[in-house]
Amino acid sequence: MLDGFFTESMIGRACEAKLLEIKVRNIRDWATDKHRTTDDRPFGGGAGMLMKCEPVVAAIEAVQTIGCRRIYLTPDGVPFTSAKAEELAKQDHLVLLSGHYEGIDQRIRDTVIDEEISIGDYVLTNGTLAAVVVIDAMARFIPGVLGEEKSLTHESFTRKLLDFPQYTRPAEYRGMSVPEVLLSGNHTEIEKWRTAQQEKKTRQIRPDLLK
Ligand code: 21W
């Protein structure tokens, strides 16, 4: 699931260029019993299974380095933001733990986790995609990962406004014309129009961003 995404996409190219290194680990490799057990039933009852302390703690202790940040992806974590992505991009080494089953034994969090992140208020089936989201958003802040033409200063969430509408050829499609100003060549007017569109769209879709 992870290797596919990390070899394709912009992230794959960043890895080839040695801007980033990603290692995927399977907790099962740290299980010691003959069935390679990683889960067990919750004390106190309840549905589902929890990840056990021993294999998870052993896995993290095997990969951690001095000064690394150990992050658990969990629906009850701190909401992920662009600011967090930028902060994580400055770190030398991140260890991301994705939960499976109904969650993990609290003592894992208490011993080998530095911070907990949620990617939003919806429920996923497991934490794997959440780890991919965090890595993808973080990687864009590593110098060289975005192409030369793309620049972070032109990105919406550094300015806290939504994007303006964009058009390419043809100038007319199914009776819909490209706004006249974009064909005018007047760059001052184009900038003004784009900013006005951003403010209008942000007011409609995300008024919370304007506060
Ligand atoms: C979904 C795990 C539901 C656990 C008492 C305490 C990682 C995620 C996830 C998942 C439960 C993220 C319980 C946004 C997400 C993730 C899988 C339920 C039951 N009872 N960000 N806990 N949404 N999801 N826990 O789902 O692992 S980051």
What pLDDT, on the 0 to 100 scale, is given for residue 150? 65
Residue with tokens 């506060």: 211
Give the pLDDT confidence of 37-54 residue by residue, as tens digits. 999 999 999 999 999 999
105 part of a folded domain: yes
Q: Residues with beta carbon inside 6 Å of ligand 1?
A: 73-75, 99, 102-103, 118-120, 122-124, 126-127, 130
147 part of a folded domain: no
Residue 67 confidence (pLDDT) above 80: yes
Ligand 1 atom, smallest distance to 77 CA: 28
User: Contact 209/202 with Cβ under 8 angstroms?
Assistant: yes
Write the residue with the smallest CA distance to atom 4 of ligand 1: 102
Residue 3 confidence (pLDDT) above 60: yes
**CATH number of domain containing 113:** 3.40.1280.10
- The average pLDDT across 166-186 equals 98
Ligand 1 atom, smallest distance to 120 CA: 14
78 part of a folded domain: yes
Of 89, 116, 139, the residue at which a domain comes to its end is 139
Residue 104 confidence (pLDDT) above 70: yes
**CATH number of domain containing 191:** 1.10.1270.20
Give the pLDDT confidence of 14-36 residue by residue, as tens digits. 999 999 999 999 999 999 999 99
What pLDDT, on the 0 to 100 scale, is given for residue 211? 86
199 part of a folded domain: yes
Write the residue with the smallest CA distance to atom 18 of ligand 1: 102
Residue 143 confidence (pLDDT) above 70: yes
What pLDDT, on the 0 to 100 scale, is given for residue 147? 82
- Ligand 1 probe mutation, 74, 104, 116, 121, most atoms within 8 A of CB: 74
Q: Provide the 3-class DSSP secondary structure of residue 140.
A: coil
- Ligand 1 probe mutation, 41, 71, 73, most atoms within 8 A of CB: 73
149 part of a folded domain: no
Q: What percent of the chain lies above the pLDDT cut of 90?
A: 89
Residue 122 confidence (pLDDT) above 70: yes
Q: Which of 22, 31, 26, 36 is nearest to 100 (CA)?
A: 26
Kindly state whether residues 116 and 204 are assigned to the same domain.
no
Confidence class for position 8, pLDDT limits 50, 70, 90: confident
User: Contact 88/139 with Cβ under 8 angstroms?
Assistant: no
Q: pTM for this structure?
A: 0.94
145 part of a folded domain: no
Owning domain of residue 179: 154-210
Kindly state whether residues 200 and 167 are assigned to the same domain.
yes
What pLDDT, on the 0 to 100 scale, is given for residue 160? 87
Residue 88 confidence (pLDDT) above 80: yes
Q: What percent of the chain lies above the pLDDT cut of 70?
A: 95
Residue 178 confidence (pLDDT) above 70: yes
Confidence class for position 158, pLDDT limits 50, 70, 90: low
What pLDDT, on the 0 to 100 scale, is given for residue 159? 61
Kindly state whether residues 88 and 163 are assigned to the same domain.
no
As given in the structure block, the two tokens for residue 119 are 């990617």
Kindly state whether residues 174 and 134 are assigned to the same domain.
no
Runs of H (alpha helix) within the chain: 2-7, 9-16, 53-63, 82-89, 106-112, 128-139, 156-159, 180-183, 187-205
Give the range among 55-59, 149-153, 163-167 with minimum mean pLDDT.
149-153
How many domains are there within the chain?
2
d(Cα 57, Cα 51) in Å, to the nearest integer? Answer: 10
The Å distance, Cα 47 to ligand 1 centre, comes to 13
Kindly state whether residues 106 and 174 are assigned to the same domain.
no
Ligand 1 atom, smallest distance to 98 CA: 27
Kindly state whether residues 52 and 14 are assigned to the same domain.
yes
